[in-house]
Amino acid sequence: MYHENLNWCLKVYTFLGVHPRKKGIFRTIHYVFNVSCPFVITSLTLIMLHLNRPFNIEYLGEASTALTTFPHAIMKLTTLFLQQSKIIDLLERTRSQFWTVDDDNVEIKRAKRIGKVLKNAYFYSVAFFMFTTILKTILTHDLAYRCYQPKWIPKTLLIIYQDYTCCVILFTLMSFDIMFQTLLFQTQLQFKMLNKKYKHLFDYENLGPTALKSMLKECVDHQSFLIDFVNRIKDTFSLSLLLFVGNIIVSLCMSVYIILSDNSKLNLKIEAVVHTIAGLNEIGLCYSIPAQMFMDEAAEIRNSIYFSNWYQRPRLAKEIIPLLIREQKPLTITAGGFVMIDLQMFLVACKTILSYSMFLNTITQLQ
């Protein structure tokens, strides 16, 4: 049985046409249709900008969502479609090779509670963004995203098409991000249980050398499995993570610029605020915080090994010392192999977003 969050993600993948277990021509057509929706709206937005040159702050603000969020969704949806075999392999490993979580342990309960809070905070922020976007089209009978409207397409039909596109992109982002977040949290819990086993490994005085070696081997084998599991996560999502980091920074730069600009209309500023909150929640709650918590737990392994009283069993010293040496290399989550995903990255991203948006605002005021 998969984690409940992963089961939810798989149900959404069925709607998106990227369920890793379902194959066939219908699934491919379903994916192509869904991925073409944001592509079409982005193309219509570019046509609008071309026909309305020179464009003002209003056009720039409303176009920024289509030109950043939509490619962001296309990239993640394509990753889910192309990496289906790797994704199902990761999911199967969580079901078949992860240790059973001890729900009675206080630390485990606390970690699970934190994970649930972060997941719900992100989910409801994106759901609110989707709700307000669709509600705007219902109340105003206007397009959710300003774009070029061909004369042969009825406005009502284009509104419905945009609302469907909004659902596709936001369900794509939610399911992808929650899956990644859940994989990191599950891995963190595995390292937490492994830390506990290492820390108390030599507390059993009645255990003979054979039984102790067997327990040590179980811990070492599981640690090797977890290291390989993390490497598989990076191999599956590394490129999409790199594109995501660049995309979200550009997107939020434009949103904060609109908020700071004196020329922006109130409705644009409100939409930019909602978009900024959802974007910061995404990068912080689904990536930086879970990755930091996982890396901190993985780094604690060397302390658990060292303070496990292993030196009281001199015969096992030759088994422990290589483990301590191996733990000198930290286990990290990176985007593209060089951008580390952690809290420092989140703070640097926030600083970059604020700096460039203020720079753009200053340039605009000087013109």
- pLDDT tens string 284-320: 989 999 999 999 999 888 888 787 777 777 677 677 7
- Tell me how far apart the alpha carbons of residues 147 and 173 are, in angstroms, rounded to a whole number: 22
> Over 70: is that where the pLDDT of 53 sits?
no
Which residue pairs, CB below 8 angstroms and at least 24 apart, start in 258-267? 258/57, 258/61, 258/64, 259/357, 260/357, 260/358, 260/361, 261/57, 261/361, 261/364, 262/365, 263/56, 263/57, 263/364, 264/57, 264/58, 264/61, 265/58
Residue-wise pLDDT for 198-250, tens only, equals 888 777 666 677 777 888 888 888 988 999 999 999 999 999 999 999 889 98
Q: Which residues does residue 32 pair with via DSSP β-bridges, in sequence order?
A: none
Q: How many domains does the chain have?
A: 1
Residue 327 and residue 301 in contact, taking contact as beta carbons nearer than 8 Å:
yes
Nearest to 37 by CA among 27, 48, 45: 45
291 token code pair: 């990755």
* Pairing label, strands 334-335, 339-340: antiparallel
Tokens of 356: 């460039």
The model's pTM: 0.90
* Residues 272, 164: Cα–Cα separation, whole Å: 21
User: Could you tell me the pLDDT band of residue 55, with boundaries at 50, 70 and 90?
Assistant: low
pLDDT-based confidence at 351, cuts 50/70/90?
very high
Contact status, residue 257 vs residue 354, Cβ threshold 8 Å: no
Digit-coded pLDDT (tens) for 103-143: 777 777 787 788 888 888 888 888 888 888 888 888 888 88
Range of the domain at 83: 4-366
> What is the arithmetic mean of pLDDT over 74-96?
92
